[in-house]
Amino acid sequence: MAQKVVQYQAVLQLAQQAPQLYDLPLLHRQMLDVLGIKNASKLVPMQDDQTPRDPVTENMDILKGKPVKAFLYQDHQAHMAVHQMAMQDPKIQSVLQQNPNAPALQAAMLAHINEHLGFEYRKQIEAQIGITLPDYEDNDREIPKEMEVEISKRAAQASQMLLQQNQQEAQQQQNQQQMQDPIIQMQMQELQIKQAEVQRKIAKDQLDASAKEKQLQVEMARIDAQKEIAGANMAMKHASDTQRNEKEQKVEGFRMGMEMNKMRMQQSHQSEQSMFQQQSRPPQKGKDKK
């Protein structure tokens, strides 16, 4: 026993030089066991000794400096919400400011929240890949290499999908928080006013365009009507001119016929007179003898 005590004392001295490398509660627990101290588990409580607790009891244990432990089956989002609200509670913050161990207590709370966060991330990855990951609580347990490689491949794809999903949720939360900001709300109202003004202008332009189009249609209809009236007038004038020309041609034909008849009558009369003169003229003597 004396030899073991010397060995543990040497390890404790090494642990003081680099405490982050050692599990100090476990080292002290084993030291007490070597010394034969009873109720070592109560004197040096360890995380592995803990049983599942509700988040409120976990907060109480952390404030008292007791170890806490998260378990895979728990509702980790609910636990993290309760722990984070406790850290933001002004009454708890006021008391911790007067506690010299406040940094250690806050570190313990953050470490416990990170433990829940790790389990929640594991559950989300399992939901994405559709299988249950192996339990690594037992360090002596090994899984086949092929299984580890397959899990890694699936986990890479699942982590990418989970990242995109979480980024979208974070963006939505950020948008909701920004919408609650008074400055953002004022800017949104200004944008809405500007948008309404643009829509009003567009509607006015559409009405003006519609009115102009109707006016243009009326003008086109008036021009078409004028064209039709002009065409009708031209047709009537053409018909009138045709009738007048035909009438004039008839009159002229009649006049020419009358003149031709008159000329024929004159010629006939002259011919009759000539014949009458010849008949009434006495015969010439010389010509008779001859």
In angstroms, the CA 25 to CA 134 distance is 27
Q: Is residue 96 part of a domain?
A: yes
Residue 274 confidence (pLDDT) above 80: no
In angstroms, the CA 82 to CA 196 distance is 44
The pLDDT tens digits for 161-172 are 989 988 988 888
Q: Is residue 277 part of a domain?
A: no
**Whole-number percent of the chain with pLDDT over 70:** 92
Q: Amino acid letter at 23?
A: D
Q: Is residue 141 part of a domain?
A: no
Bigger pLDDT: 43 vs 218: 218
Prediction pTM value: 0.52
The pLDDT tens digits for 43-89 are 777 767 778 999 999 999 999 988 899 998 899 999 999 999 999 99
Average of pLDDT values for 240-251?
Answer: 80
With beta carbons less than 8 A apart as the criterion, state whether 131 and 154 touch. Answer: yes
Bigger pLDDT: 62 vs 182: 62
Which two tokens mark 36? 């034969």
Q: Is residue 34 domain-shared with residue 73, that is, in the same domain? A: no
In angstroms, the CA 229 to CA 235 distance is 10
Q: Give the model's pLDDT for residue 139.
A: 55
Print burial letters for 146-185: b (CB count within 10 Å at least 16), e (below 16).
Answer: eeeeebeebbeebeeebeeeeeeeeeeeeeeeeeeeeeee
Q: Is residue 26 domain-shared with residue 76, that is, in the same domain? A: no
Query: Nearest-CA neighbor of 72 among 135, 166, 129?
Result: 135
Q: Is residue 290 part of a domain?
A: no
Q: Give the model's pLDDT for residue 75.
A: 94
Q: Is residue 39 domain-shared with residue 63, that is, in the same domain? A: no
Which two tokens mark 18? 């680099």
Residue 281 confidence (pLDDT) above 70: no
Average of pLDDT values for 240-255?
Answer: 80
- Give the chain's mean pLDDT: 83
**pLDDT band at residue 141, thresholds of 50, 70 and 90?**
low
Q: Is residue 63 domain-shared with residue 174, that is, in the same domain? A: yes
**pLDDT band at residue 290, thresholds of 50, 70 and 90?**
very low
Average of pLDDT values for 97-120?
Answer: 92
Q: Give the model's pLDDT for residue 136.
A: 67
Helix 145-180 vs helix 182-280: angle between axes, to the nearest 10 degrees?
80
Q: Give the model's pLDDT for residue 213.
A: 86
**pLDDT band at residue 289, thresholds of 50, 70 and 90?**
very low
**Whole-number percent of the chain with pLDDT over 90:** 18
The pair phi, psi for residue 195, each rounded to 5°, is -65, -40
Q: Is residue 287 part of a domain?
A: no
Q: Is residue 159 domain-shared with residue 254, that is, in the same domain? A: no
- As a residue count, the chain comes to 290
Which two tokens mark 72? 């895979």
Q: Is residue 285 part of a domain?
A: no
Q: Give the model's pLDDT for residue 44.
A: 78
Residue 105 confidence (pLDDT) above 50: yes
* Residue-range definition of the domain harbouring residue 36: 1-49
Q: Give the model's pLDDT for residue 57.
A: 95
- Number of domains forming the structure of the chain: 3
Print burial letters for 35-73: b (CB count within 10 Å at least 16), e (below 16).
Answer: eeeeebeeebbebeebeebebeebbebbbeeebbbbeee
- Count CA atoms within 13 Å of residue 200 on its CB side: 6
**pLDDT band at residue 111, thresholds of 50, 70 and 90?**
very high
Q: Is residue 288 part of a domain?
A: no
In angstroms, the CA 34 to CA 4 distance is 7
Q: Is residue 247 domain-shared with residue 156, that is, in the same domain? A: no
Query: Nearest-CA neighbor of 93 among 107, 80, 106?
Result: 106
Q: Is residue 84 domain-shared with residue 124, that is, in the same domain? A: yes
The pair phi, psi for residue 257, each rounded to 5°, is -65, -40
In angstroms, the CA 52 to CA 58 distance is 9
